[in-house]
A and B are shown apart, each in its own frame.
Chain A
């Protein structure tokens, strides 16, 4: 079935380190991917997105890499800060509808940053 999975449920890093969160997706027809950050008691917060015609996109302190050959997505966070501690989800649009963006989410990776 259609699903988005993550390689590790938890990731612990030291403040200042670079973090890499990985995601494997299953549907080769997916053409759009998003990373979200979710803090306790809040809704998912948009971090960065990438379309399938790209393999890399950079934002402020974050980079998303897309490898369509192996259906793998990663989020790199530079100089990780305690405020980056949260659950991170990748999500994909499998393209069933032409309007909007019906995202399918994975289970999430909990990032813990210690100072």
Chain B
């Protein structure tokens, strides 16, 4: 079974620039999540999708972050404009739609904002 795919692997941008991350979940996983992991900390949930609808985006800084999952499969996360404090690893995960199904993570995109 192929895992969660993410790209790019690394990204370096200057503050106030924009950036986008892409995620392809495990086939058959209706639920998709974006997490932010700052160095030395545990992942923090940004947004959860079920199919192409948002289930929870309460932790997403909506003034600069946006995410979409138009066809209920792939997803993109965008930051515009980026700030220094956005430097982190952005992890995508997917799970079956059922409550309390384990999340399977991709290897993330490491973002550095200079």
B-contacting residues of A (Cβ < 8 Å)? 4, 31-32, 34, 36, 41-46, 49, 51, 89, 91, 93, 96-108
A98 to B96, CA, bound (A): 12
Residues of A near B105 (CB, < 8 A) are 36, 43-45
- A98-B107 in contact (CB<8A): no
Contacts A/B (CB < 8 Å), 17 sampled: A32-B100, A43-B4, A43-B93, A44-B43, A44-B91, A46-B103, A91-B42, A93-B100, A97-B56, A99-B31, A99-B55, A100-B33, A100-B55, A101-B99, A102-B45, A102-B55, A107-B40
Q: Which residue of A lies closest to B31 (CB)?
A: A100
Mostly helix, strand, loop or mixed at chain B's interface?
loop
- B103-A41 in contact (CB<8A): no
B99 contacts which of A43, A91, A98, A104 (Cβ < 8 Å)? Answer: A98
